Structure 1
Amino acid sequence: MDGTAARGPVRAFIGSFTSAGGRGVLAADVDASSGALTVTGATAALAEPSFLALAGTVLYAVSEVEEGAVAAFDVSGAVPRPIAAPVAVHGAGPTHLALAQGHVLTANYGSGSVTVLPVGPDGAPGPATGGARHEGSGPVADRQSDPRAHQVLPAPGGPWVTAVDLGTDSVRIYALDPGSGTLRPHGETALRPGTGPRHLAFHPAGTHAYVLNELEPTLTVCRWDATAGVLEPLAETSVRPEGASGPSYPSEVVVAPDGRFLWAAVRGDDSIAVLALDPDGEKAALVATVPCGGHWPRDLALDPSGRRLYVANERSGDVTWFDIDAESGIPRPAGAIDAPAASCVVFG
């Protein structure tokens, strides 16, 4: 593990589902010695702010509703403050967003599309300048009848943006033009049919990516060629212990800053899977699973030091945190706060 102490005061921001009793976007102070969270304020100015991204003192949130939107908040104070009115993404049910080259990008699950919005001088997103609508389907009829874009994430090296589509069992690669705010289709990586890829995370060396599948509890290890913009699947490994049974729906994956470990949240099992990575990042092996401290872990996040792991447990309505053993990578419970319908945690 990195072991580097966090630099300066650290704050956390928690997204939640307002329709399920969530308080909207919560801000919290983080105790440097214990990792404990203390909520300083919340705003319900945006409906269903299920996923967040932070740039300095500006926090971005999707509004995961039928006619989706993105909003920006000034988080320099104790309570997040909307900077401007939410901006339409012209897509349904945005579940994820990311920042890339002066733009906000959203993955719109309901419409199977990706949207690009420019960021203005005040940090607020402007009207959409580009995007892409996916096509295709998968073999799981009730989940894959249409494209279901679940994550959009800039890739290391070059202009590349990845879009993970649960409905089409694939990861699309786009080139983002920062001048025009448009996406150019570059390629599509097919994964095993019926796996339902949900999210991916890159190795810190930028040479590999790890795709977490939702419809089958597996992780697909891929090689990433930043020069060519090509993602190549190599192998799959389970994120459940051998013999485990019952429904499970993996949700989020994060990689240690030193590239030695990877953690995956698994709903249904209500667990955190711990996988060890080989020195090249090309092989992943399940070494342990531990309880997530609640029910239905929707999101995982490392704090800036890389020494603690935080879990947003949606259905039990809490955020739990764990100290990570530096040698084994195994998280050990350290605390929790109430956060109704918690869906996302980010740090800054």
Structure 2
Amino acid sequence: MSPAATRRFFLSALGSAGVLTALGSSPAHARQDGHLRAAYLGSFGWTTPPGEGFEVACHDTLSGRLTPRRAVPGVPDASWLAFSPDGQVLYTTNELVPNGSVTALSLVDPHHPRPLNTRSTEGAGPTHLSVHPTGRFLLTANYTDGTVVVHRLRQDGGVGELTDLVQHTSPERPPRAHQVIVDPSGRWVVAVDLGADAVHTYRLDLSSGTLHHNSRLSVASGNGPRHLAFHPSGRHAYLVNELASTVTVLDWHAATGVFTAGATLDTRPEGATGENYPAEVVVDRPGRTCYVTNRGDDTVAVFALSEHGARLRLVDSVPTGGEWPRHCTLDPGQRWMYVANQNSGTVTRLARNTVTGELGALIDSAEVAGAAVLAFQP
């Protein structure tokens, strides 16, 4: 069985991806113009054609155009990206290499990232990582093994020794850790497990780098929770259930590190049919709009937020202009929505109303074979 089939044994066969295009002005020119900023692209190497792994792009903050430029060798299957608190180091998962690993890259020159080192995650299929707000630890979710891993970070930003590895358990299906983040208060580590249908919270000991379990929220069996995103208020979060095509509103109690589940809504309009697997969830900076990508329908679901984030309402489903939208993100100015469409091998750009949060039609598209994730220079 191929790595893709192992990673997503319950999903449909994957389609074809596009071909990388490298266009635009030189890196030196990009550094000289303040409106030209670096962006970073992660892609899979098992697609047809294969992705480059990790690439640098130029983002024109005036026009919004995204232009892929060059690959960085030795960083395969970069499926998730996260920055150090000071923005000087970028970390990426290497998801489908044997046993899984993470790579640290120096961003002293943002347009020419320099690999610092690579470390094993002591597990297979690392899908997600984040940096603790102290900048001292890297947290990684190993999907295939259902584990959460902690590495101490070196002074230069490189990945140091492993300090803890926590094994999730599940009575019905194998655990599949899919996301690990730190809550807005900085007090708790949150891990979402798709196979275990659970969201765990942990306390991280900042001396030893070990995780101590605090609470577990269980969702309906078979929902397959994938990712969550917090509301800017820090009082609510939105949990995307990949296998149920739903999103659940969670109340977050930062004092105790406990989630309480609220209403669950479909990520698709009424009457939608066919296979669909939502992937990414994003909340805008004012906390007025929530976005969820739908793989299958190939749309971004737009939810209006009200009552300070306590309520969601589906208001629109906007075509992404590509196939199998794995990841989406807003640019730093929040004027556009960018979507990584894995099967069509594209990163598409949609117009966005910065007042209402509404998404408009497709503006343009950049070819990125095996597109998995996009992050903008801090």
TM superposition score normalised by structure 2? 0.86
Q: Encode CA deviations 1:190-233: one digit per residue, 9 max, x unaligned.
A: 11221100000000110101000100110000000111111110
How is 1:1-348 mapped onto 2 (pairs within 5 angstroms)? 10-20=37-47, 21-55=50-84, 56-65=87-96, 66-75=98-107, 76-84=109-117, 86-100=118-132, 101=134, 102-138=136-172, 145-332=173-360, 333-348=362-377
1:158 positional shift: 4.4
* Secondary structure of 1:280 counterpart: helix
Secondary structure of the residue that 2:170 maps to in structure 1?
coil
Deviation at 1:323, TM superposition (A): 2.1
Identity %: 43
Query: How large is the RMSD of aligned CA atoms in angstroms?
Result: 1.4
**What are the ranges of 5 or more consecutive residues in structure 1 without an aligned counterpart?**
1-6, 139-144
- For structure 2, the 5+ residue unaligned runs are 1-33
Deviation at 1:9, TM superposition (A): 5.2
Secondary structure of 1:315's counterpart equals: coil
Matching residue's letter, 1:235: A
Aligned to 1:4: none
- Structure 1 position 39, deviation (Å): 2.2
* Structure 1 residue 19 displacement after superposition: 2.4
Task: Quote the offset at 1:327 in angstroms.
Answer: 4.1
Q: Distance in 2 between matches of 1:308 and 1:193?
A: 36
Distance 2:299 2:250 in 1: 24
Aligned residues: 335
Residues in 2 aligned to 1:181 and 1:284: alpha-carbon distance in whole angstroms: 36
Moved more, 59-68 or 69-78: 69-78
Moved more, 151-160 or 204-213: 151-160
Deviation digits for residues 302-347 of structure 1 (CA, Å, limit 9, x no counterpart): 1112222111110100111122113442222222100000101111
AA matched with 2:88: T
Q: Which moved more, 1:67-76 or 1:294-303?
A: 67-76
Does the Cα contact within 8 Å between 2:305 and 2:311 map onto a contact in 1? yes
Give the conservation status (yes or no) of the 8 Å contact 2:280–2:326.
yes
Please give the TM-score of this superposition, normalised by the length of structure 1: 0.93
SS of the counterpart of 2:144?
coil
Aligned mates of 1:107, 1:280 — CA distance in 2? 30
> 1:25–1:80: 8 Å Cα contact kept in structure 2?
no
Letter in 1 for 2:255: T
Please say if residues 54 and 76 of structure 2, whose CA atoms lie closer than 8 Å, have aligned partners that are also in contact.
no
Counterpart secondary structure, 1:209: strand
Residues in 2 aligned to 1:57 and 1:295: alpha-carbon distance in whole angstroms: 33
